[in-house]
Amino acid sequence: MPTLLRTVVFIIAFGVCINAVCAGDEKSIKKLRDAFVALAPDVDPGEAELVSETAHTASRSLAREYRVVWCAGFQNILINTGKRQRGFCGHYTRDIGKRLRELKVKTLVLHWGAAFAGTLDENNGLVVTARNQAFEDGILMDGWRNGGRLFWCALKDDSAYDLRLHPPRPSYVAKGGPQPGYSGTTAWIEDPLYTAWLQDYKHADKWQWQSAVR
């Protein structure tokens, strides 16, 4: 196949892939927006759409910025071997959270969630609730899990971190660390310090996430 023809075929194929990704994101953006609106009667639909679109586009953008080439676990290996600088779960959570902070939402509330914190299974994600709503009743957003394609679901429906299906491994807790304060069936726990950062719209952004394990 001549070089020019191969180039044209590649461009067309690449465009088809991009369009498919965008179409998938568009559907997910709308569904997440509807999930936010369903949290409470006083949630502003326009604000819900803005948060959903920002989270989706930020997650895709960060995957490119982090130079993600495959799955989340492989990215972790690349970081641990010095081939990449960013792309851990906490990096996604921090960087998406920074963009959401800039929206200064009023009818939705941003929270930082951590699952199996302080262990090798640690994951971090953003949780969105309505005002005066419990953390456990919120919507989880995780940019890391699918390598930049935003994963989201009701926090209580996240089967990957359901303690009945995936109990915590013996970890640093067995070495004298604090016992996590799990509530119900989910491993997700709110981190009050990082949540305070997400909800602070007034002060300059100086904070960086640090994993207790990695």
pLDDT of residue 204: 53
pLDDT grade for 18, boundaries at 50, 70 and 90:
very low
Question: What residues does each domain of the chain span?
Answer: 3-199
pLDDT of residue 2: 53
Helices (H), the chain: 3-37, 45-65, 72-80, 89-101, 192-199
Quick one: how far is CA 143 from the chain centroid?
4
Q: What is the pLDDT of residues 144-186, one digit of tens each?
A: 999 999 999 999 999 999 999 988 876 545 444 445 667 678 9
d(CA 153, CA 159): 10
Helix (H, G, I), strand (E, B) or coil at 162: strand
Q: What is the pLDDT of residues 60-119, one digit of tens each?
A: 999 999 999 989 999 999 999 999 999 999 999 999 999 999 999 999 999 999 999 888
Q: What is the pLDDT of residues 115-135, one digit of tens each?
A: 998 888 999 999 999 999 999
Q: Which of 7-11, 14-18, 55-59 has the highest mean pLDDT?
A: 55-59
pTM of the model: 0.82
Q: Is the pLDDT of residue 209 over 60?
A: no
- By the 8 A CB rule, do 124 and 151 touch? no
Helix (H) or strand (E) holding 108: strand 108-115
Q: Is the pLDDT of residue 43 over 50?
A: yes
Report the DSSP beta bridge partners of residue 213.
none
- By the 8 A CB rule, do 70 and 144 touch? no
pLDDT of residue 12: 41
Helix (H, G, I), strand (E, B) or coil at 82: coil
d(CA 108, CA 145): 23
CA angle 84, 114, 139 (to 5 degrees): 105
Q: Is the pLDDT of residue 203 over 90?
A: no
CA angle 140, 143, 144 (to 5 degrees): 115
Q: Is the pLDDT of residue 189 over 50?
A: yes
Amino acid at 172: Y
